[in-house]
Amino acid sequence: MTPEAVIETLKTLVEPDKVRTDPESLNTWGKDWTKHFEPAPLAIVFPRNVEQVQAIVRFANEQKLALVPSGGRTGLSAAAVAANGEIVVSFDYMNKIVEFNEFDRTVVCQPGVITAQLQQFAEEQGLYYPVDFASAGSSNIGGNIGTNAGGIKVIRYGMTRNWVAGLKVVTGTGELLELNKDLIKNATGYDLRQLFIGAEGTLGFVVEATMRLERAPKNLTAMVLGTPDFDSIMPVLHAFQGKLDLTAFEFFSDKAMAKIMGRGDVPAPFETDCPFYALLEFEALNEDIANEALATFEHCVEQGWVVDGVMSQSDQQLQNLWKLREFISETISHWTPYKNDISVTVGKVPAFLHDIDAIVGEHYPDFEIVWFGHIGDGNLHLNILKPESMAKEEFFAKCATVNKWVFEIVQKYNGSISAEHGVGMTKRDYLTYSRSAAEIAVMKSIKAVFDPNGIMNPGKIFAVPAAS
């Protein structure tokens, strides 16, 4: 079938104006936040309902056409990039909250529901959707599920996986599966729902998700603490965890702080400059808890683990303190950062960071490195900033060399090469650093069951098999 015939057929499966082939649309919907691959899709198609998704997938299955799912396109692993003439299936028009059950505290969402939209809806019901991150204003629930998104509240609330009560998915053959049916208890064999969470659209497309909600936290309070070195952060975490139920524990380096201060729109937390900063959050349900936090802070100062600090006294101050952490990614994007999203068990974090810092500093002393991350769950974000004078291609080539060293250290510590951003195309060649050959073989077998013709987001997680 010619490309022209494919496009004309797609127009019969959805409304004719819901198929786009103009260069601007191909560029916009053909990429995510990664800048490593040039978008080159054949067409963008916008289904409005499950039946249209099924029709698109069945047609693609018959013709062996590759499909790429598109949500908010905020991914950082090129999992939503169409670089090889694929058809992009955008869920922009499947963006409704379908149903709310107050007794089960669940919300039925279409995949195009924006994360912040679900958070706002939960708030209107006096409830809380706790999975939160900097891209909440544009990321989609479908994409969150596809990458098992985490974010800033994982230490208390866990990943997206913990909040999915049920899924409806369209497999690579166009079959509609309803998985788990929103049950809390369901001991009837394999939980196929979990396979699709984190699968990056390689097994099928999520067309509906039932998400759980939680009690809304009360009087959230944040502290930002400056530490004399990175090794001090872990005893600070241990001290506060022993006294308080933390909702978040984040960290960032002085270089990250400098970039944020350079914006000019976020107030400094305190005057003292420190090599590293920790941001922690908790519910100050009463005065005793707030006093416990202050006493723990004083203890940390006495031990030499903390140099200076501040505790929020209002909602505005709480928001300002969070901006110090949440604005980092957006702020450093100007420098075309090469990002690594890596994790180890919490106790191994200090040694792990030192090893990586040493090897990058040794080989590329001119590269500016910005560290931040969700240290309470062992997740570090390593950002290498491109020097102004260096071409993008040369920079990414040098960073690819760094990757190998970094991932060797990840492997040494039994960590993950991708804590929360997925594998996509940027990390597929390094999957063996986190997964055994036997695991990868099983994963490929699972894909073959749900997607026998290999049309669902091919080239993501695994390379496309060479033609025989």
DSSP classification of residue 464? P
CA 37: distance to chain centroid? 19
pLDDT band at 315 (very low <50, low <70, confident <90, very high): very high
Residue closest to 325 by CA, chosen among 227, 252, 237? 252
Residue 467: is its pLDDT beyond 80?
no
Residue 468: is its pLDDT beyond 60?
no
Residue 340: is its pLDDT beyond 90?
no
Coil/strand/helix, residue 43 = strand
Coil/strand/helix, residue 188 = coil
Q: What pLDDT is recorded for position 105?
A: 98
* CA distance linking residue 169 with residue 159, whole number of Å: 20
Q: Which of 147-156, 195-204, 311-320, 360-369 has the lowest mean pLDDT?
A: 360-369
Length of the chain: 468
Report whether 41 contacts 30 (CB < 8 A).
yes
**Which contiguous run of DSSP H or E holds residue 343?**
strand 338-343
Residue 393: is its pLDDT beyond 60?
yes
Q: What pLDDT is recorded for position 112?
A: 98
Dihedral (C-alpha) 168, 171, 174, 179: value to the nearest 10 degrees?
-30
pLDDT tens track for 5-40: 999 999 999 999 999 999 999 999 999 988 779 999
Q: What pLDDT is recorded for position 27?
A: 96
CA angle 160, 412, 156 (to 5 degrees): 25
Q: What pLDDT is recorded for position 363?
A: 83
pLDDT band at 245 (very low <50, low <70, confident <90, very high): very high
DSSP classification of residue 37? S
pLDDT band at 385 (very low <50, low <70, confident <90, very high): very high
pLDDT tens track for 440-465: 999 999 999 999 999 999 999 999 87
pLDDT band at 334 (very low <50, low <70, confident <90, very high): confident
Task: Say what percent of the chain tops pLDDT 70.
Answer: 99
pTM of the predicted protein model: 0.92
Hunting for tokens 């039946």 — which residue is that? 51
254-263 helix and 315-326 helix, angle to the nearest 10 degrees: 120
Q: What pLDDT is recorded for position 35?
A: 74
Q: What pLDDT is recorded for position 151?
A: 86
* CA distance linking residue 38 with residue 30, whole number of Å: 8
Q: How many alpha carbons lie under 13 Å from residue 299 in its C-beta half-sphere?
A: 14
Q: Which of 72-76, 160-164, 228-232 has the lowest mean pLDDT?
A: 72-76
Q: Which fold has domain 336-431?
A: Alpha-Beta Plaits (3.30.70)
Report whether 254 contacts 275 (CB < 8 A).
yes
Average pLDDT, the chain: 95
Residue 333: is its pLDDT beyond 90?
no
Architecture of the domain delimited by 97-215: 2-Layer Sandwich (3.30)
H helices of 243-383, in order, are: 254-263, 287-302, 315-326, 328-332, 349-363
**Which contiguous run of DSSP H or E holds residue 426?**
none
The torsion region of residue 303 among left (phi > 0), alpha (psi -120 to 50) and beta comes to alpha
Residue 421: is its pLDDT beyond 90?
no
Report whether 350 contacts 373 (CB < 8 A).
no
Q: What pLDDT is recorded for position 36?
A: 78
List the helix and strand counts (H, then E) for the chain. Answer: 15, 18
Dihedral (C-alpha) 70, 71, 74, 80: value to the nearest 10 degrees?
-20
Residue 133: is its pLDDT beyond 90?
no
pLDDT band at 466 (very low <50, low <70, confident <90, very high): low
pLDDT tens track for 154-212: 999 999 999 999 999 999 999 999 999 999 999 999 999 999 999 999 999 999 999 99
**Which contiguous run of DSSP H or E holds residue 278?**
strand 276-283
Task: Say what percent of the chain tops pLDDT 90.
Answer: 86
pLDDT tens track for 88-119: 999 999 999 999 999 999 999 999 999 999 99
pLDDT tens track for 263-279: 999 999 999 999 999 99
Domain-by-domain residue ranges, the chain? 3-93, 97-215, 220-329, 336-431
Q: What pLDDT is recorded for position 135?
A: 86
Report whether 148 contacts 131 (CB < 8 A).
no
Q: Do domains 97-215 and 336-431 have the same CATH topology?
A: no
According to the CATH classification, is domain 220-329 in 3.40.50.300?
A: no
CA angle 137, 143, 146 (to 5 degrees): 150
Q: Which fold has domain 3-93?
A: 3.30.43
